[in-house]
């Protein structure tokens, strides 16, 4: 009963916070669409991001004071709100997003997520993501691409346009390389070579680095681990059932060799870039195993 009441009250406060913030956010987003003066459009966009940042800050306070979750943030190095970053993370649950916000919000530039197009229909949040100009990506199957080859470059075009708008503005670009949340069924279907991860998709990251050019100098390698074998749901977080979340953060320089190159047309560069991503993913897989073993040992102590 206590968890149910906690979930209802916490969820209600998050909903109220969302309703209060969404109205001015949409107003500024619409003004940005119709105002012809570039400087005023930029001011409207900054207002949208400020409102969204306030929404995040209030939600963090709600989780901190109303839920017992211990956010075990590790390895965090000095971050700057003026330095653009690429953030790479494993993806298991909707809890991943508040976990990332708790760890990084206010210490690095505002987030930009690359989202699946279906998420634009999420009530309220879909409108907010549209207002924040988050790029919505279409995920096409191999059968669709074979039938309609011109779809193949669609996501890259969306990525390029998003990066063009963000160039020159400090930003944290969040990319979940797996493209979807990890589940045992997906892991088995892919025959993934990693124990705790799905196969990474490297094309979008390669194109982002190329499009942003020298603006991205470092990436944050974020590894999320939960105590239980089954990742928690967002309701679990709201209702106080998530006791601990490990958020391991490693800030690393982006190798210059992977920034400038034609991933689509240059097979040598593509192979080199994939090797870098695969090595990063191999190390992350080992880190997850190590952290899970640590949690297991503590549970038995």
pLDDT in tens, 255-280: 988 887 788 778 899 899 999 999 99
d(CA 108, CA 74): 16
In a domain, residue 50? The reply is no
Nearest alpha-carbon partner for 2 in 245, 299, 244, 238: 238
Say yes or no to pLDDT of 297 above 60. Answer: yes
Owner of token pair 């190390």:
283
Q: In this predicted model, which residue has the larger pLDDT, 104 or 211?
A: 104
pTM for the whole structure: 0.86
In a domain, residue 8? The reply is no
Question: For the chain, how many structural domains are there in total?
Answer: 1
| Per-residue confidence (pLDDT) for residue 100, from 0 to 100 | 94
d(CA 174, CA 137): 13
In a domain, residue 84? The reply is yes
| Per-residue confidence (pLDDT) for residue 301, from 0 to 100 | 64
- The CATH number of whichever domain residue 143 belongs to comes to 3.40.1130
Is 252 in contact with 221 (CB distance < 8 Å)?
Answer: yes
In a domain, residue 293? The reply is yes
Nearest alpha-carbon partner for 176 in 236, 69, 241, 91: 91
pLDDT in tens, 93-130: 999 999 999 999 999 998 888 777 777 777 777 778 78
pLDDT in tens, 146-199: 565 565 556 666 666 767 777 778 889 898 999 889 999 999 999 999 999 999
In a domain, residue 246? The reply is yes
Is 277 in contact with 207 (CB distance < 8 Å)?
Answer: no
Is 245 in contact with 71 (CB distance < 8 Å)?
Answer: yes
In a domain, residue 14? The reply is no
| Per-residue confidence (pLDDT) for residue 148, from 0 to 100 | 59
**Strands, DSSP E only, in 12-167?**
70-74, 85-89, 111-113, 115-116, 136-137
Domain that holds residue 193: 69-300
Is 270 in contact with 97 (CB distance < 8 Å)?
Answer: no
């Amino acid at each position: 009963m206590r968890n149910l009441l906690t979930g209802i009250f916490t969820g209600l406060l998050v909903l109220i916070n969302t309703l209060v913030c969404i109205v001015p956010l949409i107003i500024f987003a619409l003004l940005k669409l119709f105002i012809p003066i570039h400087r005023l459009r930029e001011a409207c966009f900054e207002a949208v991001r400020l409102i969204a940042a306030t929404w995040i800050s209030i939600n963090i306070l709600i989780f901190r004071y109303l839920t017992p979750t211990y956010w075990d943030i590790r390895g965090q190095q000095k971050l700057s709100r003026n330095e653009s970053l690429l953030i790479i993370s494993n993806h298991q649950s909707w809890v991943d997003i508040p976990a990332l916000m708790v760890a990084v919000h206010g210490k690095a530039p505002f987030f930009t997520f690359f989202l699946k197009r279906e998420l634009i229909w999420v009530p309220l949040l879909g409108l907010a993501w549209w207002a924040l100009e988050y790029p919505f990506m279409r995920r096409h199957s191999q059968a669709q691409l074979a039938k309609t080859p011109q779809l193949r470059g669609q996501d890259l075009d969306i990525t390029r346009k998003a990066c063009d708008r963000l160039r020159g503005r400090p930003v944290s670009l969040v990319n979940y390389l797996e493209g979807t949340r990890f589940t045992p069924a997906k892991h088995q279907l892919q025959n993934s070579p990693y124990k705790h991860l799905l196969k990474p998709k490297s094309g979008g990251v390669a194109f982002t680095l190329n499009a942003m050019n020298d603006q991205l100098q470092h990436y944050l390698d974020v590894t999320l681990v939960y105590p239980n074998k089954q990742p928690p749901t967002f309701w679990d977080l709201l209702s106080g059932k998530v006791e601990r979340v490990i958020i391991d953060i490693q800030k690393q320089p982006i190798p210059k060799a992977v920034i400038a190159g034609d991933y689509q047309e240059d097979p040598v560069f593509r192979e080199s870039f994939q090797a870098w991503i695969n090595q990063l993913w191999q190390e992350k897989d080992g880190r997850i195993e190590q952290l899970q073993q640590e949690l297991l040992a503590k549970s038995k102590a």
